[in-house]
Structure 1
């Protein structure tokens, strides 16, 4: 029986019987895709059986049919969780400089440019600038018929998860590393409004290379997000909380802090690289160095 090394490893990890798989590769060779599909079928069958048992036990209740969006979300998140080996790294960061800058300039910018800077705009620019220094995070793992490779993207396109009725969408700010904060705010405002009105065009949701999901606005302190394939990373952002912080002088000060949880595709990067990316991102968020008015060079 001909089996690719990658397929054999996955079969061992998932407990799949290779003798029961019909290979789709050259001369009937079992490749990675065959094992992944077999593993998914086993899980799906067990889920179907479990669902039938649950339905028979809990016969009373309100049935809620899935919308097409809810079905798509369920399929994509299940595929991500099953097929992408993910790891998470968490770090707290002091956002005093951002809070102070917003207080100082938000009114004048809103009056002159007609746009209001949000915390998400700073996040988007910080992530984009950090991705320039860590190209492997701005990448995708491509599984090409048993001959996988990593594609480092030329453009930096930041997706922003937006909650809407019965689901979420991820509009994409393309080439975010080349935009000023004002330009990011204008584009973010436009895309979020379109998302909530159901007016996003397909091309406005395509091509993302990294995603930000911020639940701070609904009072969530911290959470973990699932990688959005084929991207390598996603950043989960919590609420800004006033917390005591011990300084280098052993003084305790109250600072506005947020918790960042970064989830990564372990096939593309390892923990040390992901940790350095998150540390550099925190440095950028704390630096006070922002390109507010002019295009980033």
Structure 2
């Protein structure tokens, strides 16, 4: 029996993606590990490799198809001894309103509604069934989760459902009801209401891509469910700027140039070690206190942003952090990051200082416990320790904190440690 190749979940949060490009064609032989296609998620373009060996019998989803749901059949793989005549589905483009299915090469082709989505058993596991079996089951009102498949790997095929009716089909165990899950909260007027308001104004509709939809959903959830509070400090940068200039001169033969952001990453990583109780994330009904300092850094890209994570940042030199950050930022802008490179971390940094922003409040990226919003370093009058008025380069920072994870005093201790590290930069090399 031919094997369906399904749209993979390339990250824990992926629900749909775009099949950007096929790298194989019908009739090609593939082996385990061969790259078959490129798939765009909300965050990256990733290569999808074959798991089984066989021949590509049919490509069901064409290049450029958007909104392909996870676990949707995208192609059919033929095993030894099988031919295209064994395929029980005649594919149609993903965007078509109806699909054409064929029972087999000897049966007439008929137009029908699309095969229902792959069902799930009561325990949440996926029930494997051919598209034709799913359609027949839907027409008869059968619960596929209650039917034992006779196909390869227990797959439910046409013969398993053809002779059954709703009255003689096995009864499936009732799925447990979801408990304690809050209803989604409205985040503003719906599309029709907004379009009505601006009906007499000239505008252009801009379609949201997967990344923009994910950003909107996650940040709405964060502001609605995470109890933010904010701590602000001014940090004097003159010592850091002088030290940075000295280091960059020494590192110039190696082609290394440290940025202020590199020092901020290091200062935050060390502060999380100095205040270990603040190196924590929210885990639903508990907190997780991390040992390493895994620091995420917001990177703006066209249409959105990434937060690649610098793992074990407290153990890395400034030059190593600088090189790693440059690599992650470059690949983020090309949407070439793997999920493990932008997931995780306990703390994040968002720096808009290079864009001339004096100060701002950043939104926490769950499950992180805090995020540091970094403004521009500007010349300001300050009163020195001796009471004399002087001019200093001052940078305003705001620490957004999840009150479920970090209380006010602990957050203040963390921010003070960051400030101390940046105002005495040589200590970060000790």
Answer whether TM exceeds 0.5 for this pair. Answer: yes
Shift of residue 272, structure 1, vs aligned partner: 1.2
1:65 corresponds, among 187, 204, 207, to 207
2:297 corresponds, among 147, 160, 184, to 160
Higher helix share: 1
Query: What do residues 137-196 of structure 1 show as CA deviations (whole Å, max 9, x unaligned)?
Result: 2111211xxxx1111012211111000101110111110011011111111111111112
What is the distance in 1 between the residues matched to 2:296 and 2:418? 17
Query: What do residues 203-241 of structure 1 show as CA deviations (whole Å, max 9, x unaligned)?
Result: 211222110000011111110000110010000000010
Q: Report the TM-score, using the length of structure 1 for normalisation.
A: 0.81
Give the match for residue 166 of structure 2.
none
Give the match for residue 110 of structure 1.
252
Q: Report the TM-score, using the length of structure 2 for normalisation.
A: 0.56
CA contact (8 A) 1:181 1:290 kept: no
Give the 5 Å matches for 1:220-231. Answer: 220-231=357-368
Query: What do residues 242-262 of structure 1 show as CA deviations (whole Å, max 9, x unaligned)?
Result: 111001222111101100100
What is the distance in 2 between the residues matched to 1:111 and 1:193? 23
User: Does 2:239 align with 1:97?
Assistant: yes
Query: What do residues 100-142 of structure 1 show as CA deviations (whole Å, max 9, x unaligned)?
Result: 0112221321322x22101111001100000012223211121
Give the match for residue 221 of structure 2.
79
2:287 corresponds, among 150, 155, 159, to 150
What is the distance in 1 between the residues matched to 2:392 and 2:189? 49
User: Does 2:276 align with 1:139?
Assistant: no
CA contact (8 A) 1:89 1:274 kept: yes
CA contact (8 A) 2:267 2:428 kept: no
Query: What do residues 263-284 of structure 1 show as CA deviations (whole Å, max 9, x unaligned)?
Result: 0100111111111111121011
Which gives a bigger RCO, structure 1 or 2 (Cα 8 Å, sep 6+)?
1
Root mean square deviation of aligned Cα? 1.9
Unaligned runs of 5+ residues in structure 2 are 1-175
What is the distance in 1 between the residues matched to 2:278 and 2:427? 22
What is the distance in 1 between the residues matched to 2:259 and 2:278? 25
Structure whose alpha-carbon radius of gyration is higher? 2
CA contact (8 A) 1:181 1:291 kept: no
Give the match for residue 4 of structure 2.
none
What is the distance in 1 between the residues matched to 2:428 and 2:276? 21
What is the distance in 1 between the residues matched to 2:256 and 2:325? 10
What is the distance in 2 between the residues matched to 1:257 and 1:62? 41
Give the 5 Å matches for 1:151-190. Answer: 151-190=288-327
Give the match for residue 128 of structure 1.
269
2:402 corresponds, among 258, 265, 270, to 265
4+ residue runs over 2 A deviation: 28-31, 51-54, 288-292
User: Does 2:330 align with 1:193?
Assistant: yes
Give the match for residue 382 of structure 2.
245
Give the match for residue 286 of structure 1.
423
